[in-house]
Amino acid sequence: MKNIVFMPAFCDELPHYAQLCVEFWRRWCDKNEVEFIMSTEHPCDPTKVSPQVEKLFSFEILEANNVEYDQCALVDWDTFPMPNAKNLFNYTNNKFTVCLDYGYVTNILRSIEFVKPMFPGNDKVSWDTYFNSGLYIFNKSHKHIFEKTRKFCEDNDAVMKKNPAMFYGDQTPLNFIVLGNEEVTVLPRSFMVHEHFLNIFLNNYTDHTGEYIDAQSYMKHINFVHMTDGPEFRNKLVDLVNNRFYK
């Protein structure tokens, strides 16, 4: 079985943190005998389509380049694996596979409430089930998911551009198209760790008994990270991970 990691990176030059994310993914792929593929060419006019929506052309990009695969992990350039991260392809059960979003809950709930009327009858998307589109795994039987999500984005282009924060790019529409309509595997919490937990891991401290806690050492329990904070935090985090865990 051939598995690939595909990273859409539609830009002329990657920022520092993204360059290290690419390096971390390459190392993980080499270790797990997975092919790493990155695409930097825009599949459509970037002045008209957001990068998140451009990701929905991944099937076409892979097909145009004659890439053969059984499963593909689609990853954003602000995600990365820890050195001992498990092989996520072993957990899919050959289904569309996602990670729950443990990010900013009020923003998530606001987005769900805004988009839900556009999908009447779908009551499967909630805070409990909402997944993040920064890392998910698909196979060739899932092409229709990309087509449906892209069509939704095209049909609702005006309202999405007017209210970008309400849609999280392709993320919330993708949730409504997948949940309740597809068989889904949900990966464990450690397969997508966001800033709320990362800030705890990053800050060493002394507990109430006076014992010094090397919180950073516990990052070894993380499998994959998705950074959603600003560039300063992202640069700091990847440099720390690189110096402490990869070198």
3-class DSSP state for residue 204? coil
Residue 223 lies in a domain: no
Per-residue pLDDT of the chain (247 residues; tens, 9 = 90+): 799 999 999 888 999 999 999 999 999 999 999 999 999 988 888 777 777 788 999 999 999 999 999 999 999 999 999 999 999 999 999 999 999 998 889 999 999 999 999 999 999 999 999 999 999 999 999 999 999 999 999 899 888 888 877 888 899 999 999 999 999 999 999 999 997 788 888 888 999 999 999 999 999 999 999 998 899 999 999 999 999 999 8
Residue 160 CB neighbours (<10 A) = 21
Residue 243 lies in a domain: no
Structural domain count of the chain: 1
Residue 246 lies in a domain: no
What pLDDT does residue 12 have? 84
Residue 43 CB neighbours (<10 A) = 18
Euclidean distance between CA atoms 116 and 123, whole angstroms: 8
Residue 240 lies in a domain: no
Residue 111 lies in a domain: yes
pTM, two decimals, is: 0.93
DSSP 70: S
Euclidean distance between CA atoms 241 and 222, whole angstroms: 11
What CATH number did the domain enclosing 66 receive?
A: 3.90.550.10
What pLDDT does residue 121 have? 92
Residue 127 lies in a domain: yes
Euclidean distance between CA atoms 222 and 82, whole angstroms: 7
Extract the tokens encoding 23.
């390096």
**Contacts for 161 with CB less than 8 Å, ≥ 6 apart:** none
Alpha helices in 40-104 (DSSP H): 51-54, 58-64
Euclidean distance between CA atoms 164 and 160, whole angstroms: 5
What pLDDT does residue 41 have? 86
Angstrom CA distances, 210 to 4, 183, 213, stand at 47, 49, 9
Residue 242 lies in a domain: no
Contact of 89 with 71, CB cutoff 8 Å: yes
**Contacts for 196 with CB less than 8 Å, ≥ 6 apart:** 102, 103
Q: Give which of 15, 29, 30 is closest to 75, Cα–Cα.
A: 29
Residue 204 lies in a domain: no
**Domain containing 16: what range?**
3-188
